Structure 1
Amino acid sequence: MDLSALTIFRAVVRENGVTRAAAKLNRVQSNVTTRIRQLEETLGTDLFVREGRRLILTPAGETLLPYAERLLALADEARNAVTENRPQGRLRLGTMESTAARRLPRVLARYHQRWPEVELELAQGITRALIDSVRAFELDAALIARPIEPDALPVEHFESVPVFREELVLLTPSGRQPLEPTRNGVGPTLVAFERGCAYRSYAIRWFELQGIRPARVLELGSYHPIVACVAAGAGVAIAPRSVLELSSLDGEVDLHPIGALGRVDTLLIWRKGQSSASLNALRDLLQGETASTQPF
């Protein structure tokens, strides 16, 4: 079982099939198929089953995947450790949608200009999913909102530094009162991301501090439809003020401060003990950006 075979196996999983994996790896499809068969023969078990036109991981494949991620990540670390201490190779960075839209474009442009030999892969997700992906070696680092739960980032598994600070605000339809609870303490509908989004957790905590609970939670997967739903009167939302600067709905929603609870740090997190020149360069660039614009 060699690293090349594991790289191909991981690509087939990530790209949901041989065709896209072959294109991603710049290989012919027959070579990818052959290498997967050879890996299965080496291990003595099937890693995929075909369901129509899709390849589905078998239980053995599910078991192998996190080991493959860890071995490939360790190989990258070893390669960086014995080569010149210069950022190069692949860096897999996870980020929240709000951070990708508002905070990262200028930083990533500067990073690419300074370190063109780094192949930067960007993945978006909610905070909990990003933490899990870093833990599982699927990402090298991630930008997340500081979790409201104190045990979400165990110090024995993760290291982190604050790199941005966001102000969360309450969004309501224009001209509408922020909260109009009924007699039984039920407030308006909360429009938010799915469970696992740190900002949703802050929103729920803020509702609790007001002594009410949302009538329901309308889950959406992006800030643009969230803001649009609030403007249309579907409910209220809590979101970073910086994201709203990108919205074209000025005058259709009102913004209300939510106090100290709304000041939330964005953290760069990585696995404890992990070190690479590429990650260190990104951390230094992010912290330099923070020092010039958002002193903590």
Structure 2
Amino acid sequence: MNGSISIRERSLELSDLALFKTVAEAGGVTRAAHRLHRVQSNVTARVKRLESHLGVELFVRARRGMSLTPEGRRLLDYAERLLSLADEAQADVGDRSPRGRLRIGAMESTAAVHLPRLLSTLHARHPGLEVQLVTATSGVLVAQVRAGELSAAFVGGDVSEPGLAADPAFVEELVLITHPALHRPTADDLRGRTLVSFGAGCTYRACVHTWLAGRGVRPPRVFEVASYHTMLACVAANVGYAVAPRSVLLASSARRAVRAHRLGPRPWKITTHLVRRAADRSRAVEALRALLAKPRA
């Protein structure tokens, strides 16, 4: 294998993609040349040769720098994935210890409460791993794992999809969070009130819909937010109510400004799973899985 792929009966080198990615991230040839420790004329020539090879312009040139054309943005997406796969392949078949990029996703609650200690342990055991963490709702994360954009992701609830595998990671207790004026609210007390939640695809949002529907309450109006900090602030201001893991509330400075209630006579528990492609047995993913010997509450 010579590290290249055939396009139009010619070869596109991974080094071409790496150089293109650097120019795109730097926003110009001058800064890219400095990062690559190369002369500017060499970088310019290679970019032009790549554009000639593909038959499209990849950059819009201006006095203040370069920006990507639509074709350039498409190529950048492929370049990032191919370079990540190349790193993964090298780590998997070369050195026995995990190396290269490990791109993982997580719900914001998991990223804030559970992952700092876990990722610290992972880094200490495998310093050759370059971990990249992104946060999103469970639905988005599962789609990104399926598409190969993430190596693995921590998502809420069970995942049963062909081609995917999941390991239990953490156990969370979901609680109803309201303004302090509400004492032991029932589902009927929430009728007509606004749910403060993340966007569609949020597992906890689906849980509260199920909980309300089981008690004859129609799905509520939703006020969508992008962070737990905003969510709790909105609840404290009596914009509406929310459902979140108790661990998030305990870790927040806003916990005294709101009130937490159980969703029933017994705690409502939900397991966070680490989902991955079933065929992915890379050492990086296996190193992460090894830290999840049993679900952690």
Per the TM superposition, whether the score is higher than 0.5 is yes
User: 1 CA distance for matches of 2:214 and 2:153?
Assistant: 30
User: Which of residues 55, 64, 76 is equivalent to 1:44?
Assistant: 55
C-alpha distance 180-169 of structure 1, shift in aligned 2 (>3 A): closer
Aligned to 1:117: 128
Paired residues of 1:231 and 1:252 also in contact (CA < 8 A) = yes
C-alpha distance 229-24 of structure 1, shift in aligned 2 (>3 A): farther
User: 1 CA distance for matches of 2:39 and 2:271?
Assistant: 45
The one-letter code of the counterpart of 1:104 is L
The one-letter code of the counterpart of 1:131 is V
Tell me whether 1:199 sits opposite 2:169 in the alignment: no
Identical-residue share of aligned pairs (%):
42
C-alpha distance 86-16 of structure 1, shift in aligned 2 (>3 A): same
Aligned to 2:151: 140
TM-score, structure 1 normalization: 0.80
Equivalenced residues, count: 282
Deviation at residue 16 of structure 1 after TM alignment: 8.6
Tell me whether 1:169 sits opposite 2:181 in the alignment: no
C-alpha distance 164-55 of structure 1, shift in aligned 2 (>3 A): same
Aligned to 1:155: 162
Deviation at residue 245 of structure 1 after TM alignment: 0.9
The one-letter code of the counterpart of 1:226 is M
Within-5 A mapping of 1:47-126:
47-49=58-60, 55-58=67-70, 60-61=71-72, 63-65=74-76, 67-126=78-137
Aligned to 1:4: 15
Paired residues of 1:69 and 1:137 also in contact (CA < 8 A) = no
Q: Which runs of no fewer than 5 residues in structure 2 stay unpaired?
A: 1-11
TM-score, structure 2 normalization: 0.80
State the SS of the aligned residue for 2:95.
coil
Aligned CA RMSD, in angstroms, stands at: 3.3
Q: Which runs of no fewer than 5 residues in structure 1 stay unpaired?
A: none
Aligned to 1:189: 194
State the SS of the aligned residue for 1:213.
coil
Within-5 A mapping of 1:3-42:
3-10=14-21, 15=25, 17-18=27-28, 22=32, 30=40, 35-42=46-53
Aligned to 1:264: 270
User: 1 CA distance for matches of 2:277 and 2:131?
Assistant: 18
Aligned to 2:216: 211
State the SS of the aligned residue for 2:162.
coil
Tell me whether 1:222 sits opposite 2:227 in the alignment: yes
User: 2 CA distance for matches of 1:248 and 1:217?
Assistant: 24
Deviation at residue 25 of structure 1 after TM alignment: 6.3
Paired residues of 2:88 and 2:100 also in contact (CA < 8 A) = no
State the SS of the aligned residue for 2:244.
strand
Mean Cα deviation higher: 256-265 or 221-230:
256-265
Listed one character per residue, the Cα deviations across residues 108-155 of structure 1 (whole Å, up to 9, x for unaligned) are: 1111111111111122222222223223332221111126xx7xx522
C-alpha distance 167-8 of structure 1, shift in aligned 2 (>3 A): farther
